[in-house]
Chains A and B, each alone.
Chain A
Amino acid sequence: MSEAAAKPRTPNESGVPDHLQYMHPVLKRNLGKWDWHDRPRVGVLHHVSKTGDEIWTVRAGTQRQMDVYTIRKLCDIGDEYAEGHVRFTTRSNIEYMVSKEEMVEPLIKALEEAGFPVGGTGASVSMISHTQGWLHCDIPGTDASGVVKSMMDMLHHEFTHEEMPNRLRITTSCCQINCGGQGDIAINVQYTKPPKINHDLVANVCERPAVVARCPVAAIRPAMVNGKPSLEVDEKKCVCCGACYPPCPPMQINGEESTKIAIWVGGKHSNARSKPTFHKLAVANLPNNPPHWPEVAEVVKKIVYAYKENARHWERMGEWIERIGWNRFFELTGLAFTKHHLDTWTGARKTMNMSAHIHF
């Protein structure tokens, strides 16, 4: 069609861009020379360099999936009330760096007036790490942005205050691939029924060996259905993991009612105090109930406040539970402990209590 299409441009394989060109000059001047920091108030970090330089950082929550108008609004605030340099945290909070303390209050005011909550530092509930969901993924069991928005509306006070025993980090995942990662609380899709196979699609779409190989429990085998090559699933073996769905869309794992939400607790990636841990099942089979997911919110709230009221300073969720015992965790949160909490996967035995230690 156009000249460009006829003669495409060769990409400049420039790779990861140079961060120094965008970095606040005070940060650039003090690379590796920082001495200490404190937090004058929630949402504000104050770093002091060995050179005597100081920098104030104001952190605010965003919706992550941002329209250009929102981004430009954040830029306007950055130009008017800060010094034109920003960064994002791994949890999609925006940070403004300013070299003068007196800039902090007006900046906070401008952000809050524009609807961006200031907080997420220290012992708070920071923004939920966020996946794609119905908005943009090809395999989601639920939405991501809507779940995050609903939970952050509920936890707004805990984002804008540092009242938790330690930081509390929540993640969501809208399928069992779990892009969202590990968290103190993880809100993840949990499939509850084996995939329904759309046989008409299989013959056309599916790479059968790839699908058979994907199943972690060898539940899928080639089969002839209505005289056409297709697949069948041994429903007794199937663990409803959904692994077969991404390579083979006819393996329909999602169902309007069968796709549920499970909540996991006690994951942590920091090495501080205890070693990093994976999160563990707290409750499964909660309904996938847009637009507010009230049943999920209810359980998250119970867990957040049980932790807030009972944990000691600096204990993360998992460390708190480790101390008080799972017995007491289920008691304090009012959740049920079932046979499904007993691990059955490879290595399950290592998760059992191989001792005479018990909690009453």
Chain B
Amino acid sequence: MKDGDTLDAKSGEVEQHPTPMLDELEGGPWPSFVTGLKRLRDSKDKRYAAMMNDLLGQLEHSYEKKLGFWKGGTVSVFGYGGGIIPRFSEVADKFPESKEFHTLRVMPPPGFHYTTDVLRKLCDIWERHGSGLIAFHGQSGDIMFQGCSTEATQAAFDELNELGFDLGGAGPALRTAMSCVGQARCEQSCYDEAKAHRRIINAFLDEMHRPSLPYKFKFKFSGCGNDCVNAIHRADFAVIGTWRDDIKIDQEKVKEHVAKVGRKYTIDTVVSMCPTRAITLHDDDTLEIDNASCVRCMHCINVMTKALSPGDDKGVSIMVGGKRALKVGDLMGTMIIPFMKLETEEDFQKLEDFAETCIEFFADNALEHERIGETIDRIGLPAFLEAVGVEPDPNMVNHPRTSCYVRTDDFDDEAAKWFERKAREAGMTVAED
């Protein structure tokens, strides 16, 4: 319904709050959340209609005053410490029906796959207990069931839980993870993102449901360096797919590509844009890649989707320490495990073990309200690596240190470890330490 809604004059019904500013957001070609909120308000037969009328009233009030009017609090469901974001209105005297408007953070399936059937069931549950307003999805990765009274929270959760869904993370805890579509529909995928996602999160649910970490801890899973779920910026523990062997080239398809878009365009958009100058286009329109220089950035594969693809010896890189501004400034995750295989049960167990080591390190060493990236900055990367049992690797840095202020009297011992490790990797037998 558009603006000009008439107030229901008959009956003793509560008047609709006028929303002149919000009404402005009903025009325009993009789907309007305001029109949606009004549909809920106008569902006179539904229990949430009055709640949504006051919600619209409060939102309009925010638009007028340019201020928010929600405050937090404590609401939880039986057995869990986290997962509900409590919202109490600071202007409940004016808008009493939406005085409690809590959110249930619910973990989606990896890759955000749904059937229309399960979506309808989620809607039905939220009609029975909540406001009828659902966000697919929050920046946390959760399905956000927004708008629940304190009293209805338990019943809403119980029904969602019966349907096979569980609460996500909030507060100082393991948080809901995200994974890209990956294997399910992307030829660039280098591992089973969804399996890693479920495996890790479901192994540490206790850390999610009963918050007791110094601060939040997030995992994100992207199948390749395109990082479609923004793991490197936003996850404490980012798992990103990669491969060790050569990029696969179908030379016939390379020629088709060049014939279609032109040689100059191919040079401009593929050859010249490779960050490590690893690509050569030969005079016969075949492509050569210097795989030792390639950094698996994905660019050439993105452009020539038919001709090029990741190699066969696939696995993952792990980056640790990404976060946003609060409070030391943005941190990017940095490379900690340049490559590990992720195919066999044993591989997945290794990933789980390493995740556990990192969470334990975080629990034991982070100050209150500190993210793991900040902890690492505070104590230095060498101390972190030692704590989690990872050897230093040139892939961890842009370049070696430039500052000479460091005590190096054990340099020879450290160098011996490096040569020993290299020898072991080369398949030579070395005495175990």
Interface string of A27-39 (1 = CB under 8 A from B): 1100110111110
- A271 near B306 with CB under 8 A, answer no
- B137 near A92 with CB under 8 A, answer yes
Given contacts A269-B232, A270-B298, contact A153 B29 (CB under 8 A): yes
Is B97 an interface position by the 8 A CB rule?
no
**Bound Cα distance A69, B40 (Å):** 8
Out of A27, A67, A271, A273, name the residue touching B37 (CB < 8 Å).
A67
Out of B113, B123, B209, name the residue touching A85 (CB < 8 Å).
B113
Contacts of B275 in A (CB 8 A): 273-275
Is B347 an interface position by the 8 A CB rule?
no
- A32 near B192 with CB under 8 A, answer yes
Contacts of B230 in A (CB 8 A): 90, 181-182, 269
Is A75 an interface position by the 8 A CB rule?
yes
Is B28 an interface position by the 8 A CB rule?
yes
Q: Can you list 25 A-B contacts with CB-CB less than 8 angstroms, sorted by A residue number?
A: A11-B161, A14-B166, A21-B109, A32-B189, A55-B185, A61-B31, A67-B133, A68-B133, A87-B114, A131-B139, A133-B68, A134-B68, A136-B87, A138-B68, A138-B72, A138-B87, A142-B66, A214-B369, A259-B66, A269-B231, A269-B232, A271-B227, A271-B232, A273-B273, A276-B232
Interface residues of B in 215-238 (CB under 8 A from A): 225-234
- Interface size bucket, A side? 35 or more
**Bound Cα distance A115, B30 (Å):** 7
- B116 near A10 with CB under 8 A, answer no
Is B9 an interface position by the 8 A CB rule?
no
- A216 near B78 with CB under 8 A, answer no
Interface centre among A17, A45, A142, A156, by most chain B C-beta atoms within 10 angstroms, is A17
A176 and chain B: residue at smallest CB distance = B325
- Interface size bucket, B side? 35 or more
Given contacts A79-B116, A178-B324, A181-B139, contact A291 B29 (CB under 8 A): no
Chain A min CB distance to B16 (Å): 16
Out of A12, A22, A57, A87, name the residue touching B161 (CB < 8 Å).
A12
Is A266 an interface position by the 8 A CB rule?
no
Given contacts A12-B166, A259-B66, contact A270 B225 (CB under 8 A): yes
Given contacts A23-B184, A92-B136, A276-B232, contact A84 B225 (CB under 8 A): no
**Bound Cα distance A61, B330 (Å):** 29
- B33 near A71 with CB under 8 A, answer no
- B133 near A65 with CB under 8 A, answer yes
Interface residues of A in 281-309 (CB under 8 A from B): 288, 290-292
A289 and chain B: residue at smallest CB distance = B66
